[in-house]
Structure 1
Amino acid sequence: MAWISLIVAGFLEMFGVLMINKLHMNRNWQSLVLLILGFGASFLFLAYSMKTLPMGTAYAIWTGIGASGGAILGMIMYDESKDWKRVVLIAMILGAVVGLKIIS
């Protein structure tokens, strides 16, 4: 259950990052509330997963999902650069996340 909670936390972090961009583009209270709820829920799920998983592993996976997911969503939704070097580096982050799961 801790791993599922950690993955949910990572996806909620991605949602929070999207809300940062949305708030930057269109300042309104709904975007701010969604940003706070997204990151707040992300931290709650992270904290729950850290009851079982080691802190270093949980944090690395959480940030890996959030960082790579945010970059991928930026490429898909906001037409950010899709340069092959960027894609390879994102794949390396995701590979490290999978590696941490395998050894934990």
Structure 2
Amino acid sequence: MAWTALVLAGIFEMMGVAMINKLHQDRNWQSLVLLIAGFGASFVFLSYAMETLAMGTAYAIWTGIGASGGAILGMLFYNESADWKRIFFMAMVLGAAVGLKLVS
């Protein structure tokens, strides 16, 4: 269950990051509410996951999902570059988080 909570925390982190961009574009209260809800849910799920998982592992995976997922959302919805170098380094971030889990 902790791993499910950690993945959900990462997904809500992605939502929060996307809402930061949306808030800068639209400046409306719905984007602000979704931003707060996204980051709030992310922290709640991360906190729950860290009751079982090691802090370093949980944090690395959470930030990996959030950072890579945010970049992917930028590519899909905000016309950011999908250059192979960006994809390569996102894969490295996720690979490093998985590697940290494997050795701990």
Cα RMSD of the aligned pairs, angstroms, is 1.0
Q: Distance in 2 between matches of 1:38 and 1:100?
A: 26
Q: Name the structure 1 match of 2:2.
A: 2
**What amino acid is aligned across from residue 49 of structure 1 in structure 2?**
A
- DSSP-derived class of the 2:32 partner: helix
User: What is the CA deviation profile of residues 23-79 of structure 1, one whole-angstrom value per residue up to 9, with x for unaligned ones?
Assistant: 000001010001000000000000000001111111111000000000011011111
With the length of structure 1 as denominator, give the TM-score of the two structures. 0.95
Q: 4+ residue stretches of structure 1 with deviation over 4 A? A: none
**What amino acid is aligned across from residue 81 of structure 1 in structure 2?**
S
Q: Distance in 2 between matches of 1:102 and 1:5?
A: 19
With the length of structure 2 as denominator, give the TM-score of the two structures. 0.95
Number of residue pairs matched by the alignment: 104
**What amino acid is aligned across from residue 94 of structure 1 in structure 2?**
L
Q: Name the structure 1 match of 2:63.
A: 63
Q: Name the structure 2 match of 1:92.
A: 92
How many percent identity over aligned positions?
73
What are the within-5 Å matches in structure 2 for residues 1-104 of structure 1? 1-104=1-104
Deviation, structure 1 residue 103? 3.7
Q: Which runs of 5+ in 1 are unaligned?
A: none
Q: Distance in 1 between matches of 2:50 and 2:64?
A: 16
Deviation, structure 1 residue 83? 1.4
Q: Distance in 2 between matches of 1:33 and 1:100?
A: 34
